[in-house]
Structure 1
Amino acid sequence: MHAFVTVGSTRFDTLVQTALSDVVLDALRAKGYSRIVVQCGNSDFDCHAFKQAGDTWVRRDEGEVEVWRFKPSLQEEYEQADLVISHAGSGTILDVLRLRKPLIVIPNETLLDNHQEELASSLADLGHLRASTISGLPEAIETLNPSNFVPFPQFNGSRFREMLDDEMGFA
C-alpha cells in the first residue's frame, strides 16, 4: 500500500521531519504501507539517509521512502495513495475527500490564525477525516480505521448557485 504525505505549498518542517521519523515510518509499515511518498515543499529535512535522483530523494530499507519538493499537480499522488497525511489546508482537504481517500490532517500551528485547526476539527467532528497533532501522528496512524469515515458529499453545483442567488438577493 501507498501513503502520501503533503505540506502543499507551505513550509511545515515538523510535519515532514515527523513523517520521516522511525516511529511514524514503523507505524505506517505496521499498517501495511510499504511505499511512503513525502511532498516536503520548502521544508527542511535530513536527506543524509537518502540517495538523490534528480529532484527526488529515495531511501529503500523496509520499503520505499521517496521525498520531493514540488510537482505541478498533486492530483495523481492523491489518486494513487491509499492514505493521505496532510497539513490542514482547505484545498488539499477538499481534493482528497472528494476522492474518498482516508485522510489524517495536522494543522500547522505556526500560522498566524487557527483556521486550519477550526477546519480540521469541524471535518473530524463530522467524521470525514482524522485530525491529529504532530505528537499524536503515530497513534492516529495506529488506530486509523478508514471504514469509520463518513463519505464527504460530492459537490452539487446547483446548490451552490442557489446559495449564491439567495445571498445576492436574486432568489
Structure 2
Amino acid sequence: MRVFVTVGSTRFDRLVQWIVWDKVLDVLRDNGYTDVVIQCGSMGFQRLPGNGATSFESRGCNIQVYRFKPSLEQDYDAADLVISHAGSGTILDVLRKPKPLIAIVNDSLLDNHQKELADALSALGHIKTLRDAIHDIGQDTLIPFPPLDGSRFRMILDREMGYDV
C-alpha cells in the first residue's frame, strides 16, 4: 500500500522529517504501507536519510521524494492514505477523491487558518488530525465528504441578488 505525503507550496520540513523518522516508518510498515511518496517542496534532499537521493529504502519502506509537480492528481489517485499539510486546496482535492486524509497543521505560518480548517473538518469526521489519527490508529471512522454541488453556489448568489423565487 502507498502513502502520499505533501507539504504543498510552502516549506514544512518538520512534516517530512517526521515521516522518515524510524518510529513513524515502523508504524506505517506494520500497517501494510510499503511505499512512501513525499512531495517535500523546497526542503533540501540532503536532510533526508537517503543522503540526498530521491529514492531510497528505510525500515522496510520504499521512499520516493520530489520537490514539485504541476499537478498532484496522480499521486492522490495512487495513494491509499494521504498525509498532508492542512492547506485548504489540498484538503478539498483529497476529500473529493475520496481518500483517507491525515492533516498536519503547519504552525510556522503567520496565521492559524490551517488549524481552524483542520479542526472544523475533523469535528465533522471528514479528516483526522495527527492527534486523532494516533488515537484511532487502525480504525476506519472517516465520514465521506459530500460531492461538489455546483448548483448551491448559484442558489446562494440568486438569493443574495434577490432573484430567489
What is the TM-score normalised by the length of structure 1?
0.87
Q: Which runs of 5+ in 2 are unaligned?
A: none
Asked if structure 2 preserves the Cα contact closer than 8 Å seen for 1:88 and 1:107, the reply is yes
Residues 124 and 137 from structure 1, CA distance in 2 versus in 1: closer, same or farther, beyond 3 angstroms? closer
Measured after TM superposition, the shift of residue 58 of structure 1 is 0.7
**1:99 counterpart = 2:97:** yes
Runs of 4 or more, structure 1, over 2 Å off, are 47-52, 136-140, 167-171
Identity %: 52
Letter in 2 for 1:59: F
Residues 43 and 138 from structure 1, CA distance in 2 versus in 1: closer, same or farther, beyond 3 angstroms? farther
Deviations 1:101-145 (A, max 9, x none): 00000111011111100100000000001012xxx59836x7142
Residues 48 and 35 from structure 1, CA distance in 2 versus in 1: closer, same or farther, beyond 3 angstroms? closer
Name 2:163's counterpart in structure 1.
Answer: 170
Q: Distance in 2 between matches of 1:71 and 1:137?
A: 30
Q: Distance in 1 between matches of 2:100 and 2:108?
A: 25
Asked if structure 2 preserves the Cα contact closer than 8 Å seen for 1:5 and 1:39, the reply is yes
**Structural RMSD (CA):** 1.9
Q: Distance in 1 between matches of 2:39 and 2:31?
A: 21
Name 1:70's counterpart in structure 2.
Answer: 68
Within the candidate set 44, 58, 63, 2:55 is matched to 58
Measured after TM superposition, the shift of residue 48 of structure 1 is 5.1
**1:49 counterpart = 2:12:** no
Q: Distance in 2 between matches of 1:22 and 1:118?
A: 30
Asked if structure 2 preserves the Cα contact closer than 8 Å seen for 1:23 and 1:138, the reply is no
Q: Distance in 2 between matches of 1:137 and 1:65?
A: 25
Name 2:8's counterpart in structure 1.
Answer: 8
Asked if structure 2 preserves the Cα contact closer than 8 Å seen for 1:51 and 1:59, the reply is no
Residues 12 and 161 from structure 1, CA distance in 2 versus in 1: closer, same or farther, beyond 3 angstroms? same
Letter in 1 for 2:158: D
Q: Distance in 1 between matches of 2:33 and 2:153?
A: 38
Within the candidate set 134, 138, 144, 1:139 is matched to 134
Letter in 1 for 2:35: R
Aligned length: 162
Within the candidate set 69, 94, 116, 1:118 is matched to 116
What is the TM-score normalised by the length of structure 2?
0.90
